[in-house]
Structure 1
């Protein structure tokens, strides 16, 4: 098989949560470029619609936006079933929807903690469960959970003060490994990407205040740009990774070393 074929996603179908902006949008763009059809989901459907319309026009793929709250089980099941009906299958799932909350531990409210856990952990579980039912029937699937370098290491509060977020991403990493061994018998691959510090709407506040301090924790001394996650996402979605499951691929400039 030629190398290009190993990374080709022509006529695959990917469901990407949080696909309307940030890292989800970057992954959607590279998937479309490789020929993948897209179901982009977010609470803000308009964002997904805009990205879907642009990518469909630019790359000639089918791309549709859907409104989805990943913490609502009934809505997750309805939307996943609708996507399956609209596209006929779901080959790839990217669990990218995420939330964070910055506060000292002693001041963080239970409401804030629960919000982060519900989106990052429960949402990943609910969407994986719903999509997994279809993948099990077809005996094939690639699931990519977007974890975080923050789930692999710890930092003093002067760098990050988001214990709910870091804890949730550590949970996503363990969920990835456990689900991989549970569903390997169904030919479903489950892996995670652990991005380091990228320039997104979620990280803007931290970088505006502490960019130099953050750079000191990154051996490569740079912040991730709009292209640096794309290779990892393609690898884990394509046939190139057909002997890889339960792994966590850090894309972090060396910050977790």
Structure 2
């Protein structure tokens, strides 16, 4: 049920982190992939790795906040592959600050990347999924879509708001496009080491000790562990699941 042979997956924010890990999982399951992000050099390096594994991997430079860039990127993907079966809307940013300190620019950056980006990429992918009567869309939200934290290191009100909006958008899309055999679900990663956390949260032994103590599984997430639920939502294993949200946080949000 997790087989993706012959499928084409588009991954935004594919240059690192969850996007890169998901692209590897897609290829391992048999899919070909289009890798979208702003940093083309990193995309090309990942594409070479995936080609060596036997996949057709297409790197495409794309700024998900710019409609012209998104339109051109999706056109390039369709020209190359002829179809899009899976869309992982993963591109995202986390801007620190509460409403008392966050600038309008910081607020807009969170909303533009985390919400507008999903809207724009979906806008140009969904019509093709409707035409082929098949599609699997996975939107990356965050555990911080449903919980907040009073620790200064976690105060990111624009991030909270934008990731909560992702859930609303996911449910709206799921309700509208189910009749076309398109499922739309979301995942909410907790603490994983990434470019956003490597030089901040993961630099603090005190923070990691406290986090591990309160997390039921006793540790942050390991590279690749976030890809399993993404693969589930991207495959026919989830053929009767839509509009749902799965948190990937080792149980931290339940205690």
Shorter-chain TM-score: what band?
over 0.9
1:73 aligned residue: 67
Aligned counterpart, 1:31: 26
**Is 2:230 the counterpart of 1:253?**
no
Question: Counterparts of 1:217 and 1:122 in 2: how far apart (Å)?
Answer: 34
1:225 equivalent among 222, 225, 241: 222
Structure 2: distance between partners of 1:218 and 1:195: 14
What displacement does 1:50 show?
0.7
Aligned residues of 1:159 and 1:214 also touching (Cα < 8 A)? no
1:208 to 203, 206, 209: 203
SS of the residue aligned with 2:183? strand
SS at match of 2:152: coil
Contact 2:9 2:88 in 1 (8 A): yes
Distance in 2, Cα, partners of 1:238 & 1:185: 18
Write the distance in 2 (CA, Å) between the matches of 1:161 and 1:132: 34
Q: In structure 2, what is the Cα distance between the partners aligned to 1:122 and 1:212? A: 36
1:219 is displaced (CA, Å) by: 2.2
Task: Give the aligned partner of residue 181 of structure 1.
Answer: 175
- Following the alignment from structure 1 to structure 2, what is the Cα–Cα distance between the partners of residues 232 and 174? 19
Deviating more after overlay: 143-152 vs 225-234: 225-234
Consecutive unaligned residues of structure 2, counting only runs of 5 or more, are none
Are the equivalent residues in 1 in contact too, given 2:12–2:90 (CA < 8 A)?
yes
Cα distance in 1 for partners of 2:110, 2:227 equals 25
Aligned length: 251
Aligned to 1:49: 44
- The structural deviation recorded for 1:213 is 3.3
What is the CA deviation profile of residues 161-202 of structure 1, one whole-angstrom value per residue up to 9, with x for unaligned ones?
A: 111111111110111111100111111100001111111111
Residue aligning to 1:160: 154
Q: Which residue, 4, 15, 31 being the options, matches 1:9?
A: 4
Specify every segment of 5 or more residues in structure 1 that has no aligned partner in the other structure, as ranges: 1-5
CA shift, 1:220, in A, is 1.7
Compute the displacement of 1:216 (Å).
4.2
8 A contact 1:39–1:66 mirrored in 2 = yes
Equivalences for 1:58-207 in 2 at 5 Å?
58=53, 60-204=54-198, 205-207=200-202
Listed one character per residue, the Cα deviations across residues 196-249 of structure 1 (whole Å, up to 9, x for unaligned) are: 111111122123233233334422221011121121111111111101000001
Q: Is the 8 A contact 2:173 2:184 kept in 1?
A: yes
How far apart in 2 are the matches of 1:171 and 1:208?
30
SS in 2 for 1:64: strand
- For normalisation by structure 2, the TM-score amounts to 0.95
